[in-house]
Structure 1
Amino acid sequence: MTATAMKSRSKSTTSPARGRWLHLCNGLDPVRDGGMVPSILGMTGALQRAGGDVRIVTPTPSRLDDLAPPEGLAIDGPDADLVAAVRAAEVVHMHGLWQAHSRRGAAAARASRVPYVMAAHGMAEPWALRHKRWKKALYLALVESRNLRRAACLHALSRPEIGHLRDLAPWAPVCFVPNGVDLAAFDDLPPRAALEAEHPELKGKFVLLFYGRVHAKKGLDLLARSMGALARDFPNLHLLIAGKDDGALAPFADRVSALGLNGRATYVGHVSGEKARRVWAAADAFTLPSYSEGFSMAILEALACSLPCVFTTACHFPEAARAGAAVVVEPEAEALTQALRDLMERSPGERGELGANGRRLVEADYTWDQQAGKLASVYRWLAGGGPPPECVIP
């Protein structure tokens, strides 16, 4: 490290309000990278509002389309010098595992004695580790284990993820800072008729929304079985699916066809920005029957929209059930079917109360500004020393 760099870093730690906080991620493409993109943008935007000097560097091109980045946020890539950016940083926060940006970023941070944080975003989940198991086991042994063990801090989005990270790096401190949401994005939604004009089959129906990547881990096989079991008793139940097809759409369509439900499901593909707001506005309820999640942005957004929710224990959000904001069940077809049946049999007022509880939960504990305050305290601790903040589990 040069004398100039050392002097610059020392000077930045004297101010608690500002610091060079570098975020590294594979890229910012909502179609390819899914919920990690709004998570990173929400997190960094709130950190910037809190007074942080924040920069994002990606080794692949970003394609935000109609997903607006926070105003004034520096986003560089793919031609940015990643190693130079790490050397100039006060703290580096890396998002995701098994990718080149974390391999290069962690190595550069160690060489330059820059403290770094690693967020797995669900990629340390047991289900995720079993997917391409041998390839990940080899990469873990050769590269990622060292990256995790040498991190100044690991970032868990859910309480179970604390244990999953500890399994990989037993002695590294872990900060527990969940995702958040910007509530204003889900206020004053457009009229339901905006999406019904494009999809008239939704008119007069009870619209159950699935929003997320159409991937095998998301439990669409369970959802198809549940729809088959409920279709006769609830003829107005209609499934709306929004998200990029990641290999699970064709198997789902085959199941739906075999059950004679071709007219009971609508797929609108990936949506973001105002298109996403139209989808949220058309929904009467939300479901995510996932087998594995980090901390779902879609669940937080559904709660922000005051939608009654049904999701699985694999989404790692028991707080929603305790707050009376969601029905949470095991990722099993019978359990999901019973939960959806129970939801459909409730009165509109009872479903409305469930949704209102969800909105209150997000307002109280899960805004981005609240989570950014916790992360900023972690960065200042890593840069300046002293006792760890309350959100850090040593």
Structure 2
Amino acid sequence: MKICHIITSIDQSGGGPSKSVCDLSIQLAQQGLDIHLLTQASENPYIQTSPHKKLELHFVQGISFSLAIKQQLTQEHFDLLHSHGIWQMPVHYAAQLAKKNNIPYIISTRGMLEPWALNYKKWKKKLALWIYQNNDLKKAACIHATGKMEAQHIRQLGYTNPIAIIPNPIELKEKKTYTNLKKEKKRLAFIGRLHKIKNIESLMHAWTKIKNTQDWELVLVGDGEKNYVQSLKQLVANLQIQNILFTGFLAGEEKEKIMQTLDFVVLPSFSENFGMVVGEALQNEIPVIASTGTPWDDLQKHQCGWWVNNDVETLSQTIQQAIALSDEERQQMGQRGRKLIEEKYSVEIVASQMIQLYEWILKGGTKPEFVYEL
């Protein structure tokens, strides 16, 4: 099979989709598929050169991205196109060319059809849906969701296509041992883009209600729009929070190092189609507190964290419960989290499911159990 993946960016600043698409593409190539990854050139991509002979990377300058898609899809014959994200014109052009040339295509919506996301700049999105996006989605051979909640929201919008529920892959790594990693306090961390959808304000208010935090600090790992980051720092001043650290954006070894200093990770978002940071924390044996706006009910089922409402009171109670655990209890939770990732979310397992989906679309046969039809 020859598959073309299309994503506007695989830069490390792009968050979860950039990382997961790279990991998936590499593993699909390792499992024998011919994979082409078409994306815009950027300063700091997750992969710059192909690590496998069956994976071809195509980096193009942003202004010519749409033209490059047209050239690539007319020069090469692909069995299937797999687009990641919606709204962007290059992804729309890929769908147009696929329809014109009778090539089946999959759209991974990447949380962009979640209610919270649709309400953000909603009139622009309503216009885009009317002009082109609705038709692109309706004509897709399959829509890919990363969790049940995202799939339900897609169905509620009226799309009748088959929906495949396949999680993002989590790369399992052996823990590196870094020397001279020092911290004065235990750490609860938020990791990700600093944005209103992440509900960081409620986390800060919850933190002020925690008792006995003199041995703890709240760490915010990530960056965002300058004005929003400044508003968070102003809130810190207004609430007189002392034990808090803004690290800015971290990637690669810097991120790995700080992960090794963390005791818990918290993701209080209003909406997440997946939440890669949860998987990354669990594979590092760090228990997680995640909101019910994320699809991580596995935290509760597998006793490796908490899946709770994201209001201030619930967050504060849950954090209080977490920091009261003994080191042994916390470590046991972390070990269960690592086991969960190994058994359900590894790149090998996810790539195998994606191959089953591709084969079903191209060849028919028995429908995979993770595909839902009306």
- Taking structure 1 as reference, are residues 296 and 192 closer, same or farther at Cα in structure 2, changes over 3 Å only? farther
* Residue number among 209, 216, 220 corresponding to 2:196 in the alignment: 216
Q: Which amino acid aligns with 2:176?
A: L
* TM-score of the two chains, using structure 1 as the length reference: 0.88
Aligned-partner SS, 2:209: helix
Q: Residue 191 in 1 paired to residue 178 in 2? A: yes
Q: Residue 39 in 1 paired to residue 5 in 2? A: no
Q: Which moved more, 1:175-184 or 1:68-77?
A: 68-77
Q: Match of 1:270?
A: 249
Q: Residue 227 in 1 paired to residue 207 in 2? A: yes
Deviation at 1:138, TM superposition (A): 1.2
Q: Which moved more, 1:108-117 or 1:169-178?
A: 169-178
Separation of aligned partners in 1, 2:50 and 2:266 = 28
Q: Which amino acid aligns with 2:229?
A: L
Q: Match of 1:23?
A: 5
Per-residue CA deviations over 1:320-344 (Å, capped at 9, x if unaligned) read: 2111011111121111111000001
Per-residue CA deviations over 1:5-44 (Å, capped at 9, x if unaligned) read: xxxxxxxxxxxxxx1110001112121x221111111111
* Residue number among 283, 296, 303 corresponding to 1:324 in the alignment: 303
Per-residue CA deviations over 1:62-84 (Å, capped at 9, x if unaligned) read: 33357666613322132573124
Separation of aligned partners in 2, 1:100 and 1:244 = 26
- Taking structure 1 as reference, are residues 47 and 65 closer, same or farther at Cα in structure 2, changes over 3 Å only? closer
Q: Match of 1:383?
A: 362
Alignment of 1:98-177 (within 5 A): 98-177=87-166
8 Å Cα contact 1:217-1:292 kept in structure 2: yes
RMSD between superposed Cα atoms in Å: 1.7
Q: Residue 48 in 1 paired to residue 35 in 2? A: no
Q: Which amino acid aligns with 2:204?
A: A
- Taking structure 1 as reference, are residues 69 and 163 closer, same or farther at Cα in structure 2, changes over 3 Å only? farther
Q: Match of 1:82?
A: 69
Deviation at 1:235, TM superposition (A): 0.8
Per-residue CA deviations over 1:352-373 (Å, capped at 9, x if unaligned) read: 1211111111111110110000
Q: Match of 1:14?
A: none
Aligned-partner SS, 1:127: helix
Q: Residue 57 in 1 paired to residue 38 in 2? A: yes
- Taking structure 1 as reference, are residues 66 and 110 closer, same or farther at Cα in structure 2, changes over 3 Å only? closer
Per-residue CA deviations over 1:359-388 (Å, capped at 9, x if unaligned) read: 111111110110000101111122222332
Q: Which amino acid aligns with 1:52?
A: L
- Taking structure 1 as reference, are residues 49 and 76 closer, same or farther at Cα in structure 2, changes over 3 Å only? same
Separation of aligned partners in 1, 2:49 and 2:316 = 38
Separation of aligned partners in 2, 1:337 and 1:317 = 19
Name structure 2 gaps, 5 residues minimum: none
* Residue number among 359, 362, 368 corresponding to 2:338 in the alignment: 359
Per-residue CA deviations over 1:256-305 (Å, capped at 9, x if unaligned) read: 111212x4111222122111111111111111111110101100000000
8 Å Cα contact 1:181-1:368 kept in structure 2: yes
Q: Which amino acid aligns with 1:108?
A: L
Moved over 4 A (4+): 65-70
* TM-score of the two chains, using structure 2 as the length reference: 0.93
